[in-house]
Structure 1
Amino acid sequence: MTSPAETYRVYAIKYAHHERRSSANFLGGDTHDVPMPLDYFVWAVVGRDRSWLVDTGFDQAGADKRGRRITRPIDEGLASVGIQAADVQDVIITHMHYDHAGNRDLFPNARYHVQDEEMSFCTGRCMCHRPLSVHFEPEDVASMVHKVFKGRVAFHDGDDEIAPGLTVHRMGGHTAGLQVVRVKTEKGWMVLASDASHFYANIEQKRPFPAVYNVGDTLEAYRRIYSLADSPQLVIPGHDPMVLERFPSAGEEIVRLA
């Protein structure tokens, strides 16, 4: 018998920022070319008895290498919502790009949930091509491989249940194995879209972000994401500063999504 779905509290925790223009945020550019910065988030899914972390961000060394600005270390942001990094038992990695799969030693007791297709992608022949590999850090990928051999990785093939009321769904597009996270909340089913849609504008206007593996899969994912959420307002993009404006504050650069 399937357990009844628990409802969760969900937090978006900003940890970094990057100034950017809109022409860099849409495939084919943008004629307006106005300021359109990126915020970087991780997400905490908090249940009655345990919590899950969605993505792990990058650290100061990663920020320095990529020209990004850390606004608050991730462990501090998590602590402010009552989560200690050493206590995190499960991390859902939406995809293996540097800004979602870094901080590789910050969660020593966690099991990592990744898609089969994503690990095949980031360790296979596609990484021979610079336009695809540039978004990955080899050390992050190697660290995940080591975690596999230590028994700390749970693999998922497409749609899967992590816990009652918490599921993952492979979308592809941005990367071959990108997955989104569907969460049951008091507001209804919410989708943490991560980089399936960097900004609200990407999915609302059906204009993909330019870092893309498969444009067709990206466009198809927009439709499917909306079908998984109970309303468009419950679709949360991966990098949009407007997230901090649309939801109530829960601390320094943290909002409670539900």
Structure 2
Amino acid sequence: MRVNVNGIGLEVQVSGEGPAVLLVHGYPDTHALWRHQVAALNAAGYRTIAPDLRGFGASDKPKDLAAYDLGEHVADLLNLLDHFEVERAHLVGHDWGASITQLVAATAPDRISSLSLLSVGHLSAGGPAAGIDQLAKFWYMLLFQFQDVAEQWLAHGDLTGLRMWAATHPDLEEVVTRMRDPEALTSGIAIYRRNVPPQAFIPGTLQAPPIKVPTMGVWSSGDVYLTEEAMVCSAPYIDAPWRYERLEDAGHWMQLDQPEKVNELLLDFIASLR
């Protein structure tokens, strides 16, 4: 369905009945990333709310770079909860969705029952704080800062650059089809341009508020973008019960590589908090 919140139109998939679970994707995805988790959560008695973030999928794609500030994404999600009359929700975020949902939890902990961070841990534990191996994996974040240059690299030869970058994505052809639209290509990397300035790579500059709701972090051993250290070192920044799970035989998009295991972890974690 189409929902207008915070001055923007978002495409949102809503299904099921019961306690609300808000599922938030990252780059270069849409709400479809969660299709296996939506089915399992609905079957277990949960209502799922899965938006396309601004700039992605069928949601609006503002031209102004400031519109992609993390604060705007946080406001979008909190307004979504208001729109659907959800007083408290379980949050599940992957990739940039993990960055955004942890800020939602920090901003409005009274609205959040739990937080599940997939792939990306606490922002203060990532980047320079995670060491040189993690910085090396973030090479593309610097590339994405260069307007037009990044788009040319990604789009050249029927998106050869994007195919290389997202080679392990199980839905690669669907991603490529969406990103053939130049507007989608630019709006997709806007979240990097707005929120990862060059100074973000200086140790000590990435500082985010502590998380004060029960939190689970899940990292997959085949992730080519993020190190395990960046997730494990999140623990000091969680002022609430913390659970860490390492998922084997899965890449960055663990929801698609190992859907049954991800479903099992999410259902077990959420149910443990009842």
Please say whether Structure 1 and Structure 2 have the same fold, judged by a TM-score greater than 0.5.
no
Which one has a larger percent helix, Structure 1 or Structure 2? 2
Q: TM-score range by the shorter chain?
A: 0.3 to 0.5
TM-score by length of structure 1 reads 0.33
The structure that is strand-richer by fraction is 1
